[in-house]
Amino acid sequence: KNQVEQSPQSLIILEGKNCTLQCNYTVSPFSNLRWYKQDTGRGPVSLTIMTFSENTKSNGRYTATLDADTKQSSLHITASQLSDSASYICVVSLSGGGADGLTFGKGTHLIIQP
């Protein structure tokens, strides 16, 4: 069964600190992996998209890594800001999958405290 597991479920850090969110998946065959940021009560917004040949991709203070061999990804946030408080969702795309072919993780709820 295709699954995406994210950890931790929730995380609280102080403003200015760094943090790393984890994503493990069992989706096969794999096409790409995405990280989305979802502010409370809003729709998700794409941060990064990585194919199996990409090991890392950055978007400002967000850096995603991918190890397609171990089927693990991480999202590193540098110098956190209050606006980073949100849920971060890992989404894995199934190669050749019908419909959207996407499997969503449950997300990590991140809270940045001043």
Partner 1 sequence: SQTIHQWPATLVQPVGSPLSLECTVEGTSNPNLYWYRQAAGRGLQLLFYSVGIGQISSEVPQNLSASRPQDRQFILSSKKLLLSDSGFYLCAWRRGAGVSYEQYFGPGTRLTVT
Residues lying near partner 1 in the complex (CB under 8 A) are found at 4, 31-32, 41-46, 49, 51, 89, 93, 99-100, 102-107
- Count H helices, E strands: the chain? 0, 11
Shortest Cβ distance from residue 37 to partner 1 (Å)? 11
Shortest Cβ distance from residue 36 to partner 1 (Å)? 8
Nearest residue to 72 (alpha-carbon basis) of 109, 37, 22:
22
Q: Judged by CB, which is closer to partner 1: 18, or 51?
A: 51
Phi, psi of 104 (to 5 degrees): -100, 140
